[in-house]
Amino acid sequence: MASAALSALHGITAALSTAVLNVGIALLGVVVIALLYAYPYRALTLPFRNLKGPPPTSFVLGSLLTHALNPVGAAYKPWLAKYGATLRYRTLFGSWTILTVDPVMVGHVLQHTRQFHRQATFNEFIGRICGKGVLVVENDDHKRQRRAVSSAFSAFNVRGMTPILWEKSYELVKTLNDLVGEGEAKGDSTGTIDIHQYLMRATLDMIGLAGFNYDFESTAGRKNPLSTTLFGTVQLMQAPSLIRIFASIFPALFDAPTKLNKSMASTRHVMDTVGKEIITARKKELEADQVKVEKRTQLGMDAVSLLVKANMAADLRDDHRLTDDEVLGQIGALLLAGNETSATALTWASWHLAHRPDIQDKLRADVDSVDEDRPEVERLQTLPYLDQFVHELLRFDPPLHRVIRHCVEDTVVPLSIPVQGADGKTIDSIKVSKGTEIAIAINEINRSKEIWGEDAEEFNPDRFARTGIPASNVPGIWGNLLTFIAGPHNCIGYRFALMEIKIVLFVLVRNFKFEIDPADPAVDRRVRSFTMRPVVVGRESEGIQLPVVLRAIKRE
């Protein structure tokens, strides 16, 4: 009996071992096939395999980390110099990205939004924070949402938002003056301030009021549940994350119980709660009017009020109407797009002012030529050096250093700058296969010597007073720059951003002198969350910061 049982046990063990071995062999076979597809097969069948590019630095990640872990431009600039205006580089698991600064290819990709969508990972990531707003939807949904949102940021409506910008700019002056005074009272005569965090607070208040008539009171230092959780999430988004990288292949990673994913979920919950309260209040205001709501019915100048009106208007076509969830999604979109980018641009403006006192003096002379503390829009727009400074700022330091588009169908894209292929032949068009990502190098286009002159790598507002500059056209929506992108997905709020930047600079330069921090730390331009932020070299673990010295100017 024992012998028979033992024999049966051995038989079961052998059978299990064989089954495990067979499963192992099958899994190994799947892995081998996947690797053969991901690497040699994909490389050999790639329609643009004749494009040259850098060798990958990692078997799994390709050249991703070369770009992600270095300052902006450290990878792209030498690649473009060596391989030409359009090249390819390997990314995750044998995938390939096309990098380009070719203006015709850039224009084609940005205009043909039904063939080239925004990066799926970006859409999923942003959508989890702010919902399905205009930042993440595509095709007809995007067209419908954009039609509604863009009207809120027309030139006329932005003009009506300027009182908010003036009010919050002078509130920022008070906060900064208090900080300088506190430092002097404590015997700290340096006046060093991390200007970035205060600009973030001010621009948050501005977009909150202009976007949906909600005052975070962040400039004054008030605590607010939405701003607290939003800033917390942005802080966590600063660090490069392998989970975010691999989520493009394994979307389930977006649901992993990471600290960032939990923070994103919390932000979304608070944002939805606040947003629903705002939308409900706007609806009640309209209903209280006890009149038939039409498109011309007046209700506030903030963007969400205009969207709610659009959603309720009886004379609005059904296919133009937004759902409540779509209106809700715009609140998060406005916060993310309208806060980070402007604050980042103003932060770099502070850096240039501190390091170039000659430029600062010229800008101060320009803004001091105005008698009023809050000049009319027409007067503000006549200040020549302020305009040149803002142009140069957004050329030299675009908050978004690149955009990525995902090809959703096989197509052919033309080139205006031919490149030499690996076989020595000239390439003047590229077959782009479905699934390919195209990286548009905004930073490198904005600093092109062929467009902006031999001093393109220098910050020089006077270039905009030269004749013959820019030397060629770029398919951007404003200023011959790609900073606000182009095509149907261009920046909806670019007029608001320009007005915001000009007003904040007007106020700060009239009230403070900017000086270099005595320690004079080296500052790198790093991609943190999605924008090009300042990071102090050697103090990267401290996160985003820009220490500058402020000296208050006493005005009569």
> Per the annotation, where are the binding residues?
491
Report the distance separating Cα 484 and Cα 477, nearest Å: 6
Q: b/e map of 377-410 (b: 16 or more CB within 10 Å)? A: eeebeebebbbbbbbbbbbbbbbbbbbebbbbee
Report the distance separating Cα 311 and Cα 153, nearest Å: 17
What is 225-287 written as a DSSP string? HHHHHHHHHHHHTTS--HHHHHTTT-GGGGGS--HHHHHHHHHHHHHHHHHHHHHHHHHHHHH
Report the distance separating Cα 309 and Cα 61, nearest Å: 48
Q: CA triplet 413, 419, 422: central angle to 5 degrees?
A: 105
Assess contact for 539 and 522: CB atoms under 8 A: no
The dihedral through the CA atoms of 36, 38, 40, 42 has a sign that is positive
Three-class DSSP category at 221: coil
N residues, the chain:
556
Three-class DSSP category at 209: helix
Quickly count: other Cβ atoms within 10 Å of residue 316's Cβ: 17
Q: Of all helices (H) and strands (E), which one includes residue 389?
A: helix 384-396
What residues contact residue 341 under an 8 Å CB cut-off, 6+ apart?
399, 400, 497, 531
The dihedral through the CA atoms of 440, 498, 399, 339 has a sign that is negative
Q: Which two tokens stand for residue 99?
A: 């990098």
Task: Determine what percent of the chain falls in helix, strand and coil, rounding each to the nearest 5.
Answer: 55, 10, 30
DSSP character at residue 402 = -
Annotated binding site for heme: 491
Quickly count: other Cβ atoms within 10 Å of residue 192's Cβ: 19
DSSP character at residue 290 = T
Three-class DSSP category at 180: helix
Report the distance separating Cα 511 and Cα 509, nearest Å: 5
Report the distance separating Cα 399 and Cα 340, nearest Å: 8
Report the distance separating Cα 430 and Cα 439, nearest Å: 14
